[in-house]
Structure 1
Amino acid sequence: MSGIDVVVRRARAAAQERPVRALALHGLAATGTSWNAYGQHAAPDVELWTAELPWGQVGAPAWSLPGGDPADWIGAAMDKVPGGVDVLIAHSYSALLALEHLAAAPPQARPGALVVVSPFHRRDPADFRWDTAQHYLSIFQDVFDEALGLAATRPLDPGMRQDMALLVRDRVGPYGWFRFYGSYLRSPFLDTAALDLPVLAVAGRDDRFAPPEDATALVGTLPRGRLCLLEGCGHFPMAERPREFADAVHAFVSESVTSAGVS
């Protein structure tokens, strides 16, 4: 993994001198453009940064091979934001990794607040059974199909979209799936007590991939957790409900970061 770089770019400047620097991390097989709709609705004081991570569309497939810890890339991305990160926003697989990374990081290396979007989390190892693994194997390509539909500028033929989703699935490959599922399997062992920073979990009530019960379970274990469930929303709240998503993030940031002051 040491030979794979992470690229961070400023996606939107703030409209005031003292911005709130937000770094947004995409999920598996996605890109920084996942946050375009949020950037259009974000509060004026938000300076939005996005990262192109190894598990994204433009990453090298070798990221998923044995060796190293993908969570290290969360810290690598944060280190590249000039002035530091006030708010870290992470979606799906990146949310899993962000929670792992920040739980182990010293307080001075953490952002002021964390937003996890469509997080995967289970509280008890017994919550994982053989049929759980089978479920995630069988629907793995469906999440890519859903993402393609949201990203398309015009309706795609369903058959063509499914074929494209299968190509994305095959590019991620079994090792990529195993990296995702391995992180999910570790979630009951996450040291949530160590995550003593404001955390907002945003989930869609209709999410078939990261069920809203996961977000509820996670928030119930966090010292300073807060939950936002969006109605009529699936796995991509920032794209499906960008206004409601931005409003929820803005209210959270205003209370937990802006009121405390930013550097």
Structure 2
Amino acid sequence: MNPAAVRHADFPGGRVSARLLRDGSAQPDACVALLHGLGESERVWEPLARHLPAGLRLWSFELPWDAADGSDWTVEAAPAVWLERALDLAGCRPRILIAHSYAANALLDLLCAGTGALDPAALVLFSPFYRSSSAEFDWPAISHYLNDFTEVLYAGIQAQARPRDPDLAQAMAERVRDRIGVYGWLAYFTLFTATPRLDLDKLRAPCLVIGGETDTASYPRDCRALARALPDARVEVIGGGGHFTMLEDPLRAAALISRFLEESGLAPVPTHPLAENR
């Protein structure tokens, strides 16, 4: 890869970077941003990227909530600000935005605020967190998302690194949890609890919400509720998938995205047979 295709910017509290995974079409509607979730690396997108339509220009972004440098990013700037800082590094203004988990919520927060320069042509949200009513945030819900937080990180390590030793995977998950820290978890849960107040009517771009059938963090029912609340959205729940469907079944996830973009008039690619529901 050409070193010029990797760009960095340092700020108090953290660093953002952009990496050009594939130099496809220069058309604005073919420029794609891949945004990772909390405690993850931008490399989580590599398996999916291999199967996306060849004409797409793919940029993946490293965001400070990878927690490589701790949680100072949480007090220096809002997640929406970090997103804008990262997206500014791309060689084009991405109009197809693909985000996972925490980044999906940061993106929703940015777009619903209507203060940024983003003009998305399409959104793909993997395992976003959503509740339609503040009444759904009760003490058992808080207990679940706090006390089972390490289990979600464990699932991500299993999906990406595939360690053979469960004890090693558990130790890795705990190290990631400790790097994220209390402030990182609070930043995530603050975005989550704000979802009932999102002005989703502002999101006029077509949206694909992708969930996993066995996900116990972003439940399929929550993905469906978000799709119903958006003006132009559809939902796909991948059978047997968990919180990391882009890693667990990248071929199927890419097929769903390809079909969605084709039907939205954004990618002239044939519908992949795996895009059909099982």
- Whether TM-score is above 0.5 comes out as yes
* Distance apart, 1:129 and its partner CA: 0.1
- Measure, in 1, the Cα distance between the counterparts of 2:115 and 2:170: 43
- Partner of residue 217 from structure 1, selected from 208, 215, 225: 225
- Partner of residue 254 from structure 1, selected from 259, 262, 275: 262
* Distance apart, 1:24 and its partner CA: 0.4
* Distance apart, 1:35 and its partner CA: 0.4
Q: Does 1:171 align with 2:182?
A: no
- Measure, in 2, the Cα distance between the counterparts of 1:8 and 1:30: 15
Where structure 1 has 5 or more consecutive residues not aligned to the other structure, the ranges are: none
Q: Does 1:48 align with 2:26?
A: no
Q: Does 1:196 align with 2:204?
A: yes
More moved, 197-206 vs 155-164: 155-164
Q: Judging changes above 3 Å, is the alpha-carbon distance between structure 1 residues 88 and 238 closer, same or farther for their aligned structure 2 residues?
A: same
State the AA in 2 paired with 1:121.
Y
State the AA in 2 paired with 1:105.
G
- Measure, in 2, the Cα distance between the counterparts of 1:29 and 1:50: 15
More moved, 136-145 vs 120-129: 136-145
- The number of residue pairs the alignment matches comes to 257
More moved, 190-199 vs 16-25: 16-25
* Distance apart, 1:77 and its partner CA: 2.1
* Distance apart, 1:256 and its partner CA: 2.0
- Partner of residue 23 from structure 1, selected from 33, 52, 77: 33
* Distance apart, 1:201 and its partner CA: 0.5
Q: Judging changes above 3 Å, is the alpha-carbon distance between structure 1 residues 198 and 159 closer, same or farther for their aligned structure 2 residues?
A: same
Q: Judging changes above 3 Å, is the alpha-carbon distance between structure 1 residues 181 and 107 closer, same or farther for their aligned structure 2 residues?
A: closer
Give the corresponding residue for 1:91: 100
Give the corresponding residue for 2:250: 242
Where structure 2 has 5 or more consecutive residues not aligned to the other structure, the ranges are: 1-9, 269-278
8 Å Cα contact 1:93-1:119 kept in structure 2:
yes
8 Å Cα contact 2:26-2:57 kept in structure 1:
no
8 Å Cα contact 2:124-2:207 kept in structure 1:
yes
SS at match of 2:175: helix
TM-score, length-normalised on structure 2?
0.87
8 Å Cα contact 1:31-1:58 kept in structure 2:
no
SS at match of 2:64: coil
- Measure, in 2, the Cα distance between the counterparts of 1:22 and 1:109: 12
Percent of matched pairs sharing the same residue: 34
Q: Judging changes above 3 Å, is the alpha-carbon distance between structure 1 residues 72 and 227 closer, same or farther for their aligned structure 2 residues?
A: same
Q: Judging changes above 3 Å, is the alpha-carbon distance between structure 1 residues 257 and 83 closer, same or farther for their aligned structure 2 residues?
A: farther
SS at match of 1:203: strand
Q: Does 1:100 align with 2:109?
A: yes
SS at match of 1:80: coil
Q: Does 1:230 align with 2:242?
A: no
Q: Judging changes above 3 Å, is the alpha-carbon distance between structure 1 residues 145 and 172 closer, same or farther for their aligned structure 2 residues?
A: same
* Distance apart, 1:106 and its partner CA: 5.5
8 Å Cα contact 2:213-2:240 kept in structure 1:
yes
- Partner of residue 129 from structure 1, selected from 135, 138, 149: 138
RMSD: 2.0
- Measure, in 2, the Cα distance between the counterparts of 1:220 and 1:21: 27
* Distance apart, 1:83 and its partner CA: 2.2
| Runs of 4 or more consecutive aligned structure 1 residues displaced over 6 Å after TM superposition | none
SS at match of 1:90: strand
Give the corresponding residue for 2:6: none
